[in-house]
Amino acid sequence: MKTSTLKIVTGGLLIAMIAFGTASFETSNDKTNLGLTTNSPQPTYHKSVAVNGVNIFYREAGDANKPTILLLHGYPTSSHMFRNLISDLSGKYHVLAPDYPGYGRSDQPAMTNFEYTFDNMSKIVEGFLEELKVTKYSIYLMDYGAPIGFRIAAKYPERVDALIIQNGNAYEEGLSDFWIPLKKYWKDHAVEDGKALEGFHALAGLKWQYTHGVKDSTKISPDNWNIDLQHLTRPENNEIQLAMFYDYRTNVPLYPKWQQYFRDHQPPTLIVWGKNDVIFPAEGAHPYKKDLKNLEFHLLDTGHFALEEKGDEIADYILKFLNKNNIK
């Protein structure tokens, strides 16, 4: 068929479709008309903001008019640990993941000018939220993110939509034998005790944290520990990590306060916990059942950094849980 004939035929079909009301036109940039729903993953943006004089790097995705999920990373990593989860949640939620000072791509102020404590880290995250004018949020709390996030949640309970807890303690039952050398450091603060802990942020220690307890270590990208090493090997960062190890002792006396917050305010809470983690073992997950009534509980067959092996499963749990609790 010649091109001119084809044009006539297709033109006739188009006129017929209009006559019978079967033709449709793309007249806007509405993504739903292109087969892309608003639940599709949104781009992740990499930004920074000054908080109390410190440049804080963060990842952001999703519509800022939708409910916010604040992702708080653990030791010894950064917002990089949430790279896939951010995408998975971004179609339905506004997602924010900051790096703490001294971690990831955020500034590392000299220890003479900045207190590397959990109290101060929580103030930085508070300031971060204030700078972005975010006053309502759900919080994903993992490892160090738990004591940072619980400080904020207990201080501003009215701002918290929900808690998502992944291998983060609020009960002493979770302080297993793994913590014996740390407790010794808390008690004596001896240089030799600190030296014994430095292996955790050396290459072998990092790899162990990512791979111990997983079902298939070939699913765990070596990029994780290599990226972490980039900030851990900065000058003075070893001393910063030891300062945070020592300051962790200040979290334990706050456990009763956080437990009272759970009882008084009953935030909807989702537990998604790597049950093979020896740092924060499953014994630390079960006590949440004592104080929280609206609790969904999942132990996952993986290790400390559960998102690396069970990320899709965790994202699915989060989306269903928040939807069930009308956070949408």
Is 80 one of the annotated active-site residues of the chain?
no
Of 73, 80, 231, 304, the active-site residue reads 304
Alpha carbons 234 and 59: distance in angstroms, whole number? 22
**Which residues have CB under 8 Å from 234's CB, separation 6+?**
108
Q: Which residues contact 59 (CB under 8 A, 6 or more apart)?
A: 44, 45, 46, 47, 79, 82, 83, 86, 95, 96, 97
Radius of gyration of the chain (CA): 24
What residues have CB less than 8 Å from 194, skipping those under 6 apart?
Answer: 185, 242, 245, 246
Q: What are phi and psi of 98, to 5 degrees?
A: -85, 155
Pairing of strands 44-51, 54-61: antiparallel
Active site amino acids: 304
